Amino acid sequence: MPSLEEELFPSTPGKFKIDRGHSMNRQFHRCFASTSTMFLWALFLIALTASYLSFQSFVDSGSRYFSASWGGIQWEKQVRNSAQIHRSGGMSVLVTGAAGFVGTHVSLALKKRGDGVVGLDNFNNYYDPSLKRARKSLLNSHGVLVVEGDLNDGKLLAKLFDVVAFTHVMHLAAQAGVRYAMENPNSYVHSNIAGLVSLLEVCKSANPQPAIVWASSSSVYGLNDKVPFSEADRTDQPASLYAATKKAGEEITHTYNHIYGLSITGLRFFTVYGPWGRPDMAYFSFTRNILQGKPITIYRGKNRADLARDFTYIDDIVKGCLGSLDTSGKSTGTGGKKKGNAPYRIFNLGNTSPVKVPVLVNILERHLKVKAKRNIVDMPGNGDVPFTHANISHAQREFGYKPTTDLQTGLKKFVRWYLSYYGYNNRKGLQ
């Protein structure tokens, strides 16, 4: 009689020895043996499948743990803690671009009033990442976790929504800056188009769907010369790739509102400035150069006209962001399907009083007590527009938006922060 082992693993693969004996005993044994064979094969296959699946998940999570800084029970606990709401009727908000200038201020304001906040940022090196790290430390010290990751990482976004049922998304992550678009156009497509779609895809499928408030830009007004800029004005003449990606964002978010019922609010910010600001912006780089005794380049428009901007202080922008979140209404979709109409809104958030750039320099000189070395040149065709001026009546009507900080006061606060952050207060006199 062949042993069970021989039955299972015949010496010649694929060839089973045929035994024509008919005794009951033999029949029973054969039947028992073949049932056992099938059972053992089934066990073997199950074990094989299970080990394949666990190997896959090991590879998956392993590569994630090695390549990114998220995942795991401890991490999920931190995310949940950060998203915890501490006031009645509060919201839990995913803030993208939280280590950025506006993101840091909005995250702090939300946290301070008792909302739950989880930040997301990829800490790219468009400008000094150490400033982003310092903002992250500030946020951490106030109980806001900033997850390090990219908008285009759909798995990370889905995981965040698995862990927390975010009621709102404040989407501020973007490739900002007008001139850099000529140097690195793909970074604008990566963050402002692909990243936006990646975020919307996850939001559309989330249950419940969050309401989305996101940063567009005054740059969408482009070559529009009707002032002040109102939301009803034309925005189909962008002057830079940055502006074009923001305009595209307005159209893309509209389709997600229309098809999936996501509540969308787009905010057109007008030249935001203040403490913890962006080093690539004129008021910031002018301050740096003036303090270091280096010349500053001031652009002049057509017919030697000074450029002017509707400079808006960060605290006023934060009030506008919170007002938008508070009035955003609910998304209406579930499971990726629209169940009713959700709001689609666009607001200008500006200061309504444009200031000429040379006046900005005068104010900086006064606060810094140092004379600037001015180098005045004609504006090159690099995407800049000659002036911006916001009509804010729409935001005023909808959520009482009313900017209260003038440029003189706001720059004083910025200069105080700058001197302290870069250690000028500890030096004897200014350089």
Ligand X SMILES: NC(=O)c1ccc[n+]([C@@H]2O[C@H](COP(=O)([O-])OP(=O)(O)OC[C@H]3O[C@@H](n4cnc5c(N)ncnc54)[C@H](O)[C@@H]3O)[C@@H](O)[C@H]2O)c1
Query: What are the residue numbers of the active site?
Result: 242
195: left (phi over 0), alpha (psi -120 to 50) or beta: alpha
Tell me if 101 contacts ligand X by CB under 6 A.
yes
H or E element: which one contains 148? strand 145-148
Considering the complex, what minimum distance in angstroms separates the CB of residue 314 from ligand X?
A: 8
User: In this structure, how many other beta carbons lie within 10 angstroms of the beta carbon of residue 357?
Assistant: 21
Does position 261 interact with ligand X (CB under 6 A)? The reply is no
CB of 164 to ligand X, least distance (A): 17
Tell which positions 386-425 bind ligand X, by CB under 6 A: none
354 binds ligand X (CB under 6 A): no
Q: Does 97 bind ligand X (CB under 6 A)?
A: yes
* Position 272 contacts ligand X (CB under 6 A): yes
Instruction: Using CB under 6 A, pick the residue from 83, 93, 94, 103 that binds ligand X.
Output: 103
CA-based end-to-end distance of the chain: 100
At its nearest, how many Å lie between ligand X and the CB of residue 101? 4
Residue nearest to ligand X (CB): 100
Nearer to ligand X, 99 or 239 (CB): 99
Identify which of residues 141 and 431 has a Cβ nearer to ligand X in the complex: 141
Count other C-beta atoms under 10 Å from residue 394's C-beta.
Answer: 16
Within residues 150-169, the interface with ligand X by CB under 6 A covers 150-151
Q: State yes or no: residue 333 binds ligand X (CB under 6 A).
A: no
- Residue of 90, 98, 89 whose CA lies nearest to 120: 98
Query: Is 361 within 8 Å of 285 (Cβ atoms)?
Result: no
One of 139, 146, 170, 173 touching ligand X (CB under 6 A):
173
- Mark the segment that binds ligand X (CB under 6 A) among 12-20, 71-79, 268-276, 370-378: 268-276
The residue among 120, 264, 117 whose CA lies nearest residue 200 is 264
The site that binds ligand X (CB under 6 A) totals a number of residues, namely: 27
d(CA 53, CA 57): 6
Is 62 exposed, middle or buried (CB count within 10 Å of its CB: 0-12, 13-18, 19+)?
exposed
Write out the binding residues for ligand X, residues 206-245 only, by CB under 6 A: 215, 217
The candidate with the shortest Cα–Cα distance to 217, out of 186, 242, 180, is 242
Q: Looking at this protein, which amino acid is placed at residue 119?
A: G
Chain residues 177-206 in contact with ligand X, contact rule CB under 6 A: 191, 195
Q: Which stretch binds ligand X (CB under 6 A): 95-103, 223-231, 255-263, 412-420?
A: 95-103
Residue among 178, 173, 279 at smallest CA distance from 221 = 178
Q: How far is the CB of 338 from ligand X (least distance, A)?
A: 26
Quote the least distance from Cβ 177 to ligand X, whole Å.
Answer: 8
269 contributes a contact to ligand X by CB under 6 A: yes
**Structure tokens given for 116:** 């739950």
Our CB check for ligand X shows the closer of 123 and 387 to be 123
User: CA-to-CA distance for 356 and 364, rounded, in angstroms?
Assistant: 13
Q: Where are the alpha helices (DSSP H) in 206-306?
A: 241-260, 282-291
From CA 90, how far away is CA 229, in angstroms rounded? 33
Q: Which is nearer to ligand X, 119 or 261 (CB)?
A: 119
Shortest Cβ 67–ligand X spacing (Å): 15
What gap in Å lies between CA 172 and CA 219, rounded to an integer?
15
Binding stretches for ligand X (CB under 6 A): 97, 99-103, 120-124, 132, 150-151, 172-176, 191, 195, 215, 217, 269, 271-272, 278
